[in-house]
Structure 1
């Protein structure tokens, strides 16, 4: 872990943690581990001050987010929440809501019933999120 942000994680999508674990929402025992909502320091939130994490971390995490026609492949790294325990990473709620649909592993988890498709959009009452990985990374790693 560097700058408090875990390295990109493959997040196999399987977890043995019970569905009621704090901060996670799982579909049964084989659900994809993920956070229910962006945490207070989530870099995907527009209201989080920049520079919490170094530019090099965002460059490394760029491989977690694809684009239409250039999706991240199945088994590719996922953007883990920086509050996840190392070795038991959970997908970041902000990342899932903004960039998750451009990751083929996330799409597969939805199709297999391991992830609720509602996780791929911000929910009512959530803070405003950046519209893309590039916008988030550029703002959050700015040296302003």
Structure 2
């Protein structure tokens, strides 16, 4: 059986992990990354990111392709990444984010 080029577990610096540096990327950048159909690991540029595949599931093109080809990805570490995309975006929101300022102005 063929292997596909991917990371099997989110690395310690994965932006989709619950323990990622709070506000690291900003909400807008994380929204962009999550809107992508797939995401290459920022450390191993020749492999797909495990965190992106885990948080997006079937919405990730790489996951869909593997499923169609019946190639198991053997992903682990689901408990390390955010439960959903909204939690991830909120975690990366920083006080400098324009969207955070607007949110405060609306309250």
| TM-score in terms of structure 2 length | 0.68
Question: Once superposed, what is the RMSD of the aligned Cα atoms?
Answer: 2.6
Contact map agreement 2:24 2:92 (CA 8 A) in 1: yes
Match of residue 14 from structure 2: 42
Q: Which runs of 5+ in 1 are unaligned?
A: 1-26, 65-76
User: Which structure is higher in RCO with an 8 Å CA cutoff and minimum separation 6?
Assistant: 2
Alpha-carbon offset, residue 104 of structure 1:
4.8
Hey, what's the Cα distance between the residues in 2 that align with 1:101 and 1:107? 6
Q: Say if 2:23 is the partner of 1:63.
A: no
| TM-score in terms of structure 1 length | 0.53
Match of residue 112 from structure 1: 69
* Aligned length in residues: 96
Higher CA-based Rg: 2
Q: 1:58 to 1:95 in 2, by over 3 A?
A: same
